[in-house]
Amino acid sequence: MTRSPHITTLVPFTPAAMFDVWKVGVMAFELWTSSLSTIAMRNNLWYTQVPTSARMMKENQRMVTEKLDASLEVAMEMNKAMFGMFTGQHAPWWVTSRRTLQPFHRRTTANSRRLSR
Protein backbone atom coordinates (compact mmCIF):
# COMPACT_ATOMS: atom_id res chain seq x y z
CA MET A 1 0.00 0.00 0.00
CA THR A 2 1.47 3.33 -1.00
CA ARG A 3 0.91 6.39 1.08
CA SER A 4 -0.25 9.61 -0.41
CA PRO A 5 2.20 12.49 0.17
CA HIS A 6 -0.70 14.53 1.51
CA ILE A 7 -1.61 12.08 4.27
CA THR A 8 1.93 11.98 5.69
CA THR A 9 1.64 15.62 6.74
CA LEU A 10 -1.61 14.90 8.60
CA VAL A 11 -0.86 11.60 10.32
CA PRO A 12 2.52 10.81 11.89
CA PHE A 13 3.77 7.45 10.60
CA THR A 14 7.34 7.31 11.90
CA PRO A 15 8.30 6.86 15.55
CA ALA A 16 10.15 10.20 15.46
CA ALA A 17 7.03 11.98 14.22
CA MET A 18 4.90 10.26 16.88
CA PHE A 19 7.38 11.38 19.52
CA ASP A 20 7.13 14.94 18.17
CA VAL A 21 3.34 14.78 18.49
CA TRP A 22 3.76 13.58 22.08
CA LYS A 23 6.18 16.46 22.78
CA VAL A 24 3.63 18.96 21.45
CA GLY A 25 1.05 17.55 23.87
CA VAL A 26 3.44 17.75 26.80
CA MET A 27 4.43 21.29 25.84
CA ALA A 28 0.77 22.34 25.62
CA PHE A 29 0.06 20.82 29.04
CA GLU A 30 3.10 22.53 30.60
CA LEU A 31 2.06 25.81 28.97
CA TRP A 32 -1.44 25.45 30.41
CA THR A 33 -0.30 24.60 33.95
CA SER A 34 2.45 27.21 34.11
CA SER A 35 0.05 29.85 32.73
CA LEU A 36 -2.47 29.06 35.45
CA SER A 37 0.14 29.25 38.19
CA THR A 38 1.61 32.48 36.78
CA ILE A 39 -1.84 34.09 36.62
CA ALA A 40 -2.54 33.02 40.21
CA MET A 41 0.79 34.37 41.47
CA ARG A 42 0.36 37.67 39.64
CA ASN A 43 -3.16 38.05 41.02
CA ASN A 44 -1.74 37.43 44.48
CA LEU A 45 0.81 40.18 43.87
CA TRP A 46 -1.91 42.57 42.71
CA TYR A 47 -3.97 41.86 45.82
CA THR A 48 -1.11 42.18 48.29
CA GLN A 49 1.07 44.97 46.83
CA VAL A 50 0.46 48.65 46.32
CA PRO A 51 -0.43 49.08 42.61
CA THR A 52 1.76 52.17 42.21
CA SER A 53 4.87 50.67 43.82
CA ALA A 54 7.99 50.45 41.70
CA ARG A 55 8.02 46.66 41.95
CA MET A 56 4.46 46.32 40.66
CA MET A 57 4.98 48.84 37.88
CA LYS A 58 8.08 46.94 36.77
CA GLU A 59 6.26 43.58 36.93
CA ASN A 60 3.28 44.88 34.96
CA GLN A 61 5.54 46.41 32.34
CA ARG A 62 7.51 43.18 32.09
CA MET A 63 4.30 41.17 31.69
CA VAL A 64 3.05 43.32 28.83
CA THR A 65 6.36 43.47 26.97
CA GLU A 66 6.87 39.70 27.30
CA LYS A 67 3.41 39.01 25.89
CA LEU A 68 4.04 41.36 22.98
CA ASP A 69 7.45 39.82 22.28
CA ALA A 70 6.04 36.30 22.39
CA SER A 71 3.14 37.28 20.15
CA LEU A 72 5.53 38.76 17.60
CA GLU A 73 7.63 35.58 17.66
CA VAL A 74 4.51 33.45 17.14
CA ALA A 75 3.39 35.70 14.28
CA MET A 76 6.81 35.30 12.68
CA GLU A 77 6.62 31.50 12.97
CA MET A 78 3.12 31.50 11.51
CA ASN A 79 4.30 33.69 8.63
CA LYS A 80 7.19 31.30 7.98
CA ALA A 81 4.77 28.36 8.00
CA MET A 82 2.38 30.10 5.61
CA PHE A 83 5.24 31.08 3.30
CA GLY A 84 6.43 27.48 3.36
CA MET A 85 2.96 26.29 2.40
CA PHE A 86 2.81 28.77 -0.46
CA THR A 87 6.18 27.63 -1.81
CA GLY A 88 5.42 23.92 -1.39
CA GLN A 89 7.87 23.36 1.47
CA HIS A 90 5.38 22.98 4.28
CA ALA A 91 6.19 21.28 7.57
CA PRO A 92 3.86 18.83 9.31
CA TRP A 93 1.40 20.29 11.80
CA TRP A 94 3.27 18.89 14.81
CA VAL A 95 6.44 20.75 13.82
CA THR A 96 4.57 24.00 13.22
CA SER A 97 2.65 23.56 16.49
CA ARG A 98 5.83 23.08 18.48
CA ARG A 99 7.47 26.11 16.88
CA THR A 100 4.47 28.34 17.56
CA LEU A 101 3.99 27.17 21.15
CA GLN A 102 7.65 27.52 22.06
CA PRO A 103 7.81 31.32 22.65
CA PHE A 104 4.82 31.26 25.01
CA HIS A 105 6.01 28.06 26.70
CA ARG A 106 9.50 29.43 27.30
CA ARG A 107 8.19 32.65 28.85
CA THR A 108 5.42 31.16 30.97
CA THR A 109 7.64 28.50 32.50
CA ALA A 110 10.32 31.11 33.22
CA ASN A 111 7.75 33.44 34.79
CA SER A 112 6.31 30.64 36.88
CA ARG A 113 9.78 29.77 38.22
CA ARG A 114 10.66 33.43 38.81
CA LEU A 115 7.42 34.34 40.59
CA SER A 116 7.45 31.23 42.78
CA ARG A 117 10.67 32.30 44.50
Answer whether 61's CB lies under 8 Å from 78's CB: no
The span from the CA of 88 to the CA of 65, in Å, is 34
Nearest Cα neighbor of 102 from 64, 65, 76, 63 is 76
The span from the CA of 11 to the CA of 66, in Å, is 34
The residue extents of the domains of the chain are 36-115
Answer whether 13's CB lies under 8 Å from 20's CB: no
Per-residue pLDDT of the chain (117 residues; tens, 9 = 90+): 566 666 666 788 889 989 999 999 999 999 999 999 999 999 999 999 998 999 999 999 999 999 999 999 999 999 999 999 899 888 889 999 999 999 999 999 999 999 998
The span from the CA of 36 to the CA of 112, in Å, is 9
* CB neighbours of residue 84 within 10 Å: 13
